[in-house]
Amino acid sequence: MPAKWTSAMIAASTDHTLLKAIATKDQIISMCNEAVRYAVRAVCINPYWVSTCAKKLAGTGVTIVTVVGFPLGATSTAAKAEEARRAVAEGAREIDMVINLGQAKAGDWDAVRADIAAVVEASKPALVKTIIETCYLNRDEKEAACMAAVAAGAAFVMTSTGFGTGGATVEDIRLMKETVGDRALVKASGGIKTYEDAVALLEAGASRIGASAGIAIIREAESQA
């Protein structure tokens, strides 16, 4: 494992994530405290908790990320746009949206692109990361979904919600990075449990890691020093 992947570098690449339906306020506050202690890049939470995290993390340098159309991607475009707009008003600075997977499977890439573009517009000045849920798509669909995200103005393409049938893989990260090139960044999310997982995905082309095990991964990185 390359020595360059220090705990600080892993932390700077990590969205510390808590998206469980039963997450309590105490758990959200604890997560924020961990995020500050370990200097992670961001916390990723459900929209309900954005204002709570914005107050708790004000002035800390930790970015607030929330999810839109999550986890199915099947809400209307108007609903996704309004959800994003409200989250940004409450303090979110990055929006992780799920694409319309049904339209993707049907090959209606104009509809997929329009859905993403509406959220990109509604989220300004926050950036948008598009979750393409790779476990449900074949290779051609993954490439087309990435291209739709780029065309719609998304800043990132993402692998997974963590609620589908599979998560991030090295193969998918390589494919997504090859597809978007320097036009967008790639976030690996879903099923990332260890330092070894994180490093493999970062080396495959991911710029960001989304993980509920983020703190455990950073601690493991510390032990590698």
Q: What is the CATH number of the domain that holds 33?
A: 3.20.20.70
How far does CA 105 lie from the centroid of its chain? 21
Residue 2 lies in a domain: no
Residue 93 lies in a domain: yes
Residue 190 lies in a domain: yes
Segments forming the whole domain that contains residue 173 = 7-224
23's tokens: 């997450």
Residue 220 lies in a domain: yes
Q: Are 124 and 89 in contact (CB under 8 A)?
A: no
What sign has the CA pseudo-torsion 207, 174, 191, 134?
positive
Q: What is the pTM of this model?
A: 0.96
Residue 61 lies in a domain: yes
Residue 164 lies in a domain: yes
- Written as tens digits, the pLDDT of the chain (225 aa) is 455 899 999 999 999 999 999 999 999 999 999 999 999 999 999 999 999 999 999 999 999 999 999 999 999 999 999 999 999 999 999 999 999 999 999 999 999 999 999 999 999 999 999 999 999 999 999 999 999 999 999 999 999 999 999 999 999 999 999 999 999 999 999 999 999 999 999 999 999 999 999 999 999 999 987
Residue 34 lies in a domain: yes
Residue 1 lies in a domain: no
Q: How many domains does the chain have?
A: 1
- To 5 degrees, how large is the angle CA 176–CA 158–CA 116? 100
Q: 3-class DSSP state for residue 185? A: strand
16's tokens: 């510390």
